[in-house]
Structure 1
Amino acid sequence: MKKWIFPMMAIVMFLLLSSCQSSETTEKKKTDNDDPLAPLEETAKVVIAEDGSASGAGFYIAKDKGYFEEYNIEVEFATFGNSDEMLPAVASGEVDVAGGISTASFFNSIAQGIDVRFIADKGHNNEGSSYFTFVVREDLKDEITEYADVEGKKIAVSSENSVDDYIYHEMLKHAGISTDDVEFVLMSDFGNMMAAMGNKQVDLALQIEPLITQGANQGIHQRFLDATAYAPEAQIAMVLGSPKFLTDRRDVALRFMAAYLRGVRDYNDVFIKGEDDGGEVISIMANHTALKDEELWREVGVTGLNPNGYIFENNVVDQYEFYKENGAIQGELDFDKVIDMSLVEEALDIIGKYEE
C-alpha cells in the first residue's frame, strides 16, 4: 500500500495548487473588471470637432501624452466651417465631442431642436490675466485708466448677441455708463481691430490672445484693467457632447472625460501653478494651435480651463437671458437637460478632485 501513498499525495497537491491558481486568476479578472477605467477591450474612435483653438488644450495634451491611448481610445479631429454645420453633426452622433461658444444663434439652434449637451468647461478668463479682455490704444493709456474714462470713446467688439457683447455690456454696467454714452464699433476680425488701433480709428477693443500680447509688444495697445473685475465667471466656451455618446457609449465617454481632465490638469500645472515640465505642454500647444512661438506662450494670458471640469452654470443662464432681453432668442431652453455635469462628476469620483 505504501507505493500508492506518494502518487496520491502528489495528485492531491496538484489539485490544491490548481485550485489556488484558478482562484487567483478569477480574482485577478474580477479586480481588472472592477477597474472603472480599465482599457476598453476594443479600440474606440472618438471624433472631436476642434479647429486648433487654444481652448482645446485638454484634447491636445491628452492625445499627445497618451492618455486617450491608455484607455484604448483613438481620437480624430474634424473641422467644420461654422456651428451651423457642426451642431447637427454633434446631435446626430456623427461627431462625439465639440466646442461651443456662447452666442444667441448657438442657443437658438438648441432651442429649435438641435440636441446637444454642455458637458465640461472649455474656456473662461483667469483672474488678473484674462485671455479675452479689453485693450486701450497705446497713446491713450494715460488718459483712459479707469472705467469711467471710457465715456465718449469708440469701442470695437467682434460681434453682437454673443459672449463678446455680454462682456462689453458688463463692463459698461460696471463703469456706470450707458451704451448711449459710447460708440460701439462692430469689427468681426480681431486682426483688423489691432490695425484699427494702430490707425487711431478706435480707442478701445475687446481683444483676444495672442493678439493682446503681440499688440502690447508692438506698442499698439495695452491691457485695460481686467475682464474678471466685472465678468468674473463669464463662460466663454463649453465642451459639447452628443447625447448618443453620453448614453449609448457611456463606457467610452467616461474614459474620454477622465483623459480630458488629466490633460487639463497638466495644462493648469504648467500655466497656472508654474510647474516646470521641461517645456512639454508648451510644445504640444505650439504644435496644435496657430501660436507657434513657444517663448510667446510664456507671456500670453492663457485660456482658463477648470481642472475639475465644471462650467459656470449660472452664468450660462445669465447670458441666455441677456440675449433674450435683446430679442435675439426664439424658443425656450431647459437648462436642467442641456447642462449635464454627470460625466464630469462620474470621472471625478474615480480620479479625484484637483487641488487648486
Structure 2
Amino acid sequence: MKKTNQKWIVSLALSVGLLAACGNDEQTSKGEASGDYEITVGLSQSAGGTLVDIAHQEGYFEEENISVNRVGFANSADGLNALQAGKIDVGLTFGTAGPLTFIANGSDFSIIGGHLEGGHPILTKKENAGQYTSLESYKGKKVGTIRIFTSDIVFRSALEDAGIDWKNDLEIVEFKTGSMLLEAVASGKVDVAVSANSFYAQAVDMGLEAVAWSNDLQEGHVCCRVVTRSELLAEEDGEAYKRFLKALIRAERKKIEDPQSAVTAAKEYMKVDEKVINTIVNDSHSNYSSDPSREKVVQMWEQMKEIGYVENVDDIDVNDYVNIDLYEKALNELIEQYPDDVYYKDQLVRFNEQNI
C-alpha cells in the first residue's frame, strides 16, 4: 500500500492494547518509521518474527522505503482470520498447514515467500522421555497437537507412512494455543505434545524435554510461509511485497553470517532473558529461509490430502496459490544492485531448485 507518513508497530509485550475487532489474542504497540509503502504483518506473540526483527534492526526496510507494522497473535487461526478480514496484510509465522487449510476452505491467499523450515519439538515430561524411541512408541498414547499447526501435519503424515493408524492406534487431542498444549502435557492430561519452535523455551522452563523434532520425521519440511491476500498483489504489481521480500532475503543473510544479530534484534520485542531468546531464534533444528519453496508447499498439500486433513479439494491446483514471481524479482534486483556478491547468485540457484 502506498503511504507517506505512518508509524512502526514494534512491541509484542503482553501489556499493550488490543485491537478489539480481532479479540483478546491480538497485541500491538507503536514506534516511529516512515516509507513510501506500508504493510501490516501478523506474527506469533511468543516468538515474533526473526527475519522481520533483523530487517528492522539493520534498517533494511528503511532502505527499501517500506514501513512494516507488527501485530502479534496467540495462534495461527486467529492470525489467518485477521488476514482474511483485512486487519493485516501479511501472515509471517502462521505455518504452512494453516494457510493451506484456509485455501482449501475457499480463501484466496497467495504464498509469496518463506520464513522457517523445520524446528518443531515433540515434548514430554523428563521422566517419560525414555519411552519414546520410535514412531511405534506413540501407539496407545494420548498425543496433544494444535489444529492446523504444520508440525501436526508432519507428525500425522509420518505415522501414516510408518503404517500406524493415527485415528485408532493412539488418541490425538487438539488444543487452541501452544500454551494450553504445554500445560496439558505438564499436568499429565496428555502424554506427549507435538509443539512448535516458538514454545520450546517455555517448555524447557516447565521441565519438559524434546524426544524428537519435526525435522527427524520429515527432513527439510517447510513451515512458516509469507502469505497475503491475492488481491493485494494487484496493487502496483505487488511492489510493496517485493520490497518486503528483499528485506527478508537480506535479513536471512545477516542471520547466517551473524547469529547474534537475531538475538539483538529480538530483544526489542521479547522481554525475556537473552539466553531464552537465543534458544528460540538460534536453535540448530530451525532453518530460517525466505525462499517460497513451492515444491515443498505442494508436497505438504499432498500430505494433507492423503491423511484427510483437507477434503473435496481435487478441483484446487495449489500451484495457483504460490506466487514465486515476486521473490524471483526481489532476488534479481539484489543481484543487479550487488553484481559482485556471490551470495545472492547462490540464492537464485537454490530458488530454481526449489520452485520448479
Length-normalised TM-score, structure 2: 0.70
Give the deviation of 1:175 after TM superposition: 4.7
Matched, 1:73 2:86: no
Identical columns (%): 19
Matched, 1:115 2:98: no
Work out which of the residue numbers 186, 190, 203 in structure 1 matches 2:178: 190
- Which position in structure 1 is the counterpart of 2:331? 348
Give the deviation of 1:216 after TM superposition: 3.2
**RCO greater where, 1 or 2, for CA within 8 Å and sep 6 or more?**
1
C-alpha offsets along residues 116-166 of structure 1, whole Å, 9 cap, x if unaligned?
3211012221xxxx2x1212321122232333222222211122x552431
SS at match of 1:298: helix
* Partners of 1:261 and 1:194 in 2: CA distance: 33
Partner amino acid, structure 1, of 2:139: E
Contact 2:113/2:227, CA 8 A, preserved across alignment: yes
* Partners of 2:263 and 2:112 in 1: CA distance: 26
Give the deviation of 1:88 after TM superposition: 4.3
Residue correspondence of structure 1 range 329-348 to structure 2 within 5 A: 329-331=311-313, 332-348=315-331
Q: Which runs of 5+ in 1 are unaligned?
A: 1-41, 272-278
- Which position in structure 2 is the counterpart of 1:276? none
Length-normalised TM-score, structure 1: 0.70
Matched, 1:284 2:276: no
1:198–1:95: structure 2 CA closer, same or farther, 3 Å change rule? closer
- Which position in structure 2 is the counterpart of 1:87? 84
Contact 1:95/1:242, CA 8 A, preserved across alignment: no
- Which position in structure 1 is the counterpart of 2:287? 304
1:210–1:95: structure 2 CA closer, same or farther, 3 Å change rule? closer
Residue correspondence of structure 1 range 170-319 to structure 2 within 5 A: 170-173=157-160, 175-179=162-166, 180-218=168-206, 220-243=207-230, 245-250=232-237, 251-271=239-259, 279-289=260-270, 292-300=272-280, 301=283, 303-306=286-289, 309-319=290-300
The structure whose Rg is larger is 1
Q: Which moved more, 1:140-149 or 1:209-218?
A: 209-218
RMSD of aligned residue pairs (Cα, Å)? 3.1
Q: Which moved more, 1:257-266 or 1:48-57?
A: 48-57
Contact 1:265/1:354, CA 8 A, preserved across alignment: no
1:111–1:211: structure 2 CA closer, same or farther, 3 Å change rule? closer
* Partners of 2:109 and 2:174 in 1: CA distance: 30
Partner amino acid, structure 1, of 2:164: I
Matched, 1:328 2:322: no
* Partners of 2:300 and 2:210 in 1: CA distance: 24
Give the deviation of 1:86 after TM superposition: 1.4
- Which position in structure 2 is the counterpart of 1:31? none
Contact 2:82/2:88, CA 8 A, preserved across alignment: no
C-alpha offsets along residues 77-130 of structure 1, whole Å, 9 cap, x if unaligned?
3567542231242xxxx85433343347x44643565433211012221xxxx2
Work out which of the residue numbers 31, 38, 43 in structure 2 matches 1:46: 38
Q: Number of aligned pairs?
A: 293
Partner amino acid, structure 2, of 1:73: I
- Which position in structure 1 is the counterpart of 2:7? none
- Which position in structure 1 is the counterpart of 2:9? none
- Which position in structure 1 is the counterpart of 2:139? 151
Give the deviation of 1:65 after TM superposition: 1.7
Give the deviation of 1:199 after TM superposition: 2.7
Partner amino acid, structure 1, of 2:247: A
Contact 1:117/1:339, CA 8 A, preserved across alignment: yes
Contact 1:117/1:243, CA 8 A, preserved across alignment: yes
Partner amino acid, structure 2, of 1:46: E
Matched, 1:140 2:138: no
* Partners of 1:52 and 1:82 in 2: CA distance: 8
* Partners of 1:60 and 1:51 in 2: CA distance: 11
- Which position in structure 2 is the counterpart of 1:165? 152
Partner amino acid, structure 1, of 2:226: V
1:268–1:165: structure 2 CA closer, same or farther, 3 Å change rule? same
Contact 1:47/1:78, CA 8 A, preserved across alignment: no
